[in-house]
Structure formats: C-alpha cells, structure tokens
Structure 1
Amino acid sequence: MRGRAALAAAALALGLAACQQPALAAESAVAAPKAKRVAREGKGLKTAIFAGGCFWGVEAVFSHVKGVRSAVSGYHGGTERQASYNLVSSGMTEHAEAVKVTYDPNVIRYDQLLRIFFSVVADPTQLNRQGPDTGTQYRSAIVPTSAEQNAVAKAYIAQLKAAKLWDRPIVTRIERAQGFYPAESYHQDFAAKNPRHAYIVRWDAPKVAALKRMYPRVYSASFRRD
C-alpha cells in the first residue's frame, strides 16, 4: 500500500529513529465516553468487524484486549474473487481493510469494543484515509453482525456526535455485513511478528500503548490468537 511502502522507504533512508516520533494530532488518542446503550448479547462467543485504516494496527489493538479470543485481518465487502492484497490496494474493489474480532461478551462487551475503537484505533473524522494511507479501502467503518450490535453502534455514534469530542464531523460509517475474507497469512499478527517495522513503530505501537494507558483494566500484555 502506497503509504506504508513510502514510509518504509523513508525509514531505510533516514534511519528507524525518524519513525519514532509521536503520532500526529489527527491520530492522537481521544477519551471517548462510556456508552449509554449497553450491549446485551447473551452467552457464547460473538463476532464483530471493524475497519479503521491499515488492518495491522486494528488487529494489534484488539489482540491486546481481555476477552478477545481472536482478531483476524481481512477484507470486508466486495467479492471473494477480488479479496486479495494487490487488488484491494487498488481501491477499486469496494473492500475495506478490516479486522474480524471474536470475543466473549461476559468479559468484554460490544459497546466497550466500540469505545476502544473510537478512542485509540481510528480517527472517525478522516474520510477514506487513516494516517499515511489514503483510499476507500482505508475508510473507518463499523460492521455489526447482529441486530443488537447494530442498535448499540447507532446509539453510540449518535452519543459521540452529541458529545462533540472532535472539531470535525464524524464520518465513520455503519456498514451492512456482506462478506469477510481473511487476508494473506503474512498480514496476520503482523505487529506482533514485526515490532520494529517502521510502519508499526510510527503508527501502530502508539495505539497499543494508548490502550494500555487509557484502559488498563481491559489491557492484556499477551498477544492472543486462538
């Protein structure tokens, strides 16, 4: 992807230290409020899909949340035939880079996952981009997989809009679940396997650090994948 490739090339030329600067203001963490509409999902594991720019960082954050059983990078929307890194990167397939999160609602609720998403994962005011990456494939989107999740997501976005935490309008979309396709194996657990990668150091490690700082009760030091 162009943003990641350009950043990596710059890091090679200037040294890794150049990629260790604090995140830009647009990517800074925001203390989103607790949801007024609490999710009631019953027993058993549940799944939810989140799109927030590069899936490396989205996966990295959710993989460090207690109660999350797995976080899988992939592509939401479009067709299965077109769900490949090269095609999705063109921005012409209607997919979004996304992460499918499987979680135990008795440990972490859906509304709490939403709070984490808006606090440290994505800037909801950026349209079709996050950080250095641009294009519709990097849009921020919430993809509910049940009627309860859909109701909670709508209520929470309305709550955030009323709270006026950001200077610009919230553009994060709620999208209908229409197919999730796991990304290539080398994308899975990318941040955990490549902690010194220039992109991870510059853009994604700060998100995990913000999760630990802001939500210590739900932060898990171990990277989990079932």
Structure 2
Amino acid sequence: MKMDKANNCRSQKFLAAAILCFLFTFTIVNNSRADWKALFYDDFESGDLSKWTITIEPDSPTPAGWEIMGESENNVLRGRGHSWAELTNKYWRNYDLTFRLKIITGQIHVCVKLSDQGRYLIRFANNSVTIEKESPWGTFTFLRSSSPTLNLNEWYGVEIRIISESIEVYLNNDKILTAEDPEYLVSGGIGFETLGEANEWTSEVLIDDV
C-alpha cells in the first residue's frame, strides 16, 4: 500500500479545503444490529497519533501532513496537502462507521476496506457523493453516485455500512446511495486522504472522535 498513491489518484484541478468532524463507530455486522460491537475509537484527546500511519505524497503542496491540534475546546486531527492518515494494522471484513461531516470547500475521500489489494473510495463534495473501487492500485472502477443536498459550511451526519459486496451511504439517517460489487474486496481498514498538488491546489480537514 506504500506504493506511489500520488500516481494512483486522478488529478483534479481545483482549490480544495475542508473542515470535517468525524464520529466513527466500527462494528462487526451480524444478522441482528443488536449483535454488533464496537471495534475502535479515538478522540485524539491524548495527543497520541501512534494508532495512525501518516503519509505525505511527493506531489503535495506545503504545509502537508497530519497533526493533532486544539479546536473548540477539543483535540482534533488536522490533515493538509496531499496526505493520508491510515488506521494502523486494523482490518475488518464487515463494519459500520458513522461520523459528522462539514465541508468548507472542495472534497474529502473516505477510504474503506483499505489494504494492499486496493480500497473503496467514497468521495464527498458539494451536493455530490461517489463510490469508486480502486483495485489493483491505479485501476479505478466507478460504482455509483448520488446528488444529495450536501451544502458547504453545514454539518451532516454520515454513516457508511460495508457488508460483503454491499456499501451503503447514509446522510442524516437517510440512505442516499447503495453500491454492490460482485468481486468485492474481502477486508481492510480505513483511511482519510486530503488532496493537493504542488503549486496548484491544496486541501485541509479536521477530524475528531474516530
């Protein structure tokens, strides 16, 4: 997975900056939701990033990378430039994650079932949500897209549910998108990708309560 991800990501020419707050609850998915259990949580209040692997791409503008900073009396994880924050050595087959999202401008990539074999990429932008598969790395397959009301500078509750070949995306508890992949990736972790290209455009995100 530490290959040239910069070469694997399609270049898009725009100035991107986003401020986001995520609340993730990872669960093992069984037949009954009552059987689910929490797998991971991080609110960054300890100031410790040892659970995460940080990567800065060669094409990134500066400043770039991920760091813990204070925001509204809470610690949050800030990502800038073209960089990644990947949860270290955590892989699951089926799971559910929820978070709150606020986009200031541009877009954010949320990666699920992230592994050496590839990833599913859920791209959130102004009034647009897209699911793509990248497997092997550098080979993209479009799965589904939707055009929900997703305004800039507003908070939204997001849920991404991954069960075998199915990926469901919810916005404020309403299902907005479902994609199925018959040749689905079996397992993987999660990661966040901020985007940017040297001397062209950049992005910034804040993440909390993973």
TM-score of the superposition, structure 2-length normalised? 0.26
Q: Greater share of helix residues, 1 or 2? A: 1
